[in-house]
Amino acid sequence: MSIISIKDLTKIYNASQVPVHAVNGISLEFERGEFAAIVGPSGSGKTTLLNMLGGLDDPTSGTIVIDNQRLDQLKSSERIKFRLNNIGFIFQAYNLIPVLTARENIEFIMELQKIPKEQREKRSMELLEAVGIPDKANIRPRQLSGGQQQRIAVARALASRPKFILADEPTANLDSKSTGTLLDIMEKLNREEDITFIFSTHDARVVNKARRVITIEDGRVKNDEVRQ
């Protein structure tokens, strides 16, 4: 059964005199436990598509169904609550809160979910163990390497036990060693915990790990390859 189903999804920007079809009639389905990469040249619509899947941007037309819920029909306040409880995000720029420690950054989402303190602390330490840096629990982001910050971002994305994780160019600012480590961690979590990952990426290393590669050009799906 599909965890995500999008049909005839379109996003048109009218900032100039000529409307720009960033996403142009895309229909896709994602099953639980996928490790999928959305690829394509700059301006192809990858990030726009990911933003709509995450409820960060409204489609011009089309439908987005996540676990039987029409995301495109939710009011803004409803969508915020839905994102909090169902979708994890990993960004290129990490987006960690600088005044919080690694553990506090991970716990922040759970605090918004009103999860009790003891459960938050237990979950955050489990996740720091899972991403291989339990010794960094009380360190603030500025004292960590880029690779370590992105591992915390992965742990934070997992903290709310989301239905799936959207990762927008998560390895763009990392060196080869950090990228390899991070991808191994995410692949392990995907396989062992059946967590769905959907990447938007230019990185060949991410594409090589993916078990499904969706190629987008000019806002349309050009190819959809499923690998073993």
pLDDT for residue 118: 94
* Domain-embedded: residue 130: yes
Contact of 55 with 74, CB cutoff 8 Å: yes
Mean pLDDT of the chain: 92
97: domain CATH number?
Answer: 3.40.50.300
* Domain-embedded: residue 12: no
Q: How many domains does the chain have?
A: 1
User: What does the pLDDT look like over 28-84, one tens digit per residue?
Assistant: 999 999 999 999 988 899 999 999 999 999 999 999 999 889 998 999 899 999 999
Contact of 159 with 165, CB cutoff 8 Å: no
* Domain-embedded: residue 89: yes
147: number of Cβ within 10 Å: 18
* Domain-embedded: residue 129: yes
pLDDT for residue 10: 95
For residue 86, give both structure tokens. Answer: 């169902």
pLDDT for residue 149: 93
Q: Give the integer Cα–Cα distance in Å for 24 and 146.
A: 35
* Domain-embedded: residue 188: yes
Host domain of residue 196: 34-60+74-226
CA distances from 192 to 27, 128, 185, 188 (A): 29, 16, 11, 6
* Domain-embedded: residue 153: yes
Residue that the structure tokens 């506090």 belong to = 104
Q: Give the integer Cα–Cα distance in Å for 215 and 199.
A: 12
* Domain-embedded: residue 68: no
* Domain-embedded: residue 44: yes
Q: Give the integer Cα–Cα distance in Å for 20 and 151.
A: 35
Among the listed residues 227, 221, 192, 189, the one whose alpha carbon sits nearest the alpha carbon of residue 209: 227
pLDDT < 50 positions in the chain: none
Beta bridge pairs of residue 196: 164
pLDDT for residue 52: 94
pLDDT for residue 2: 87
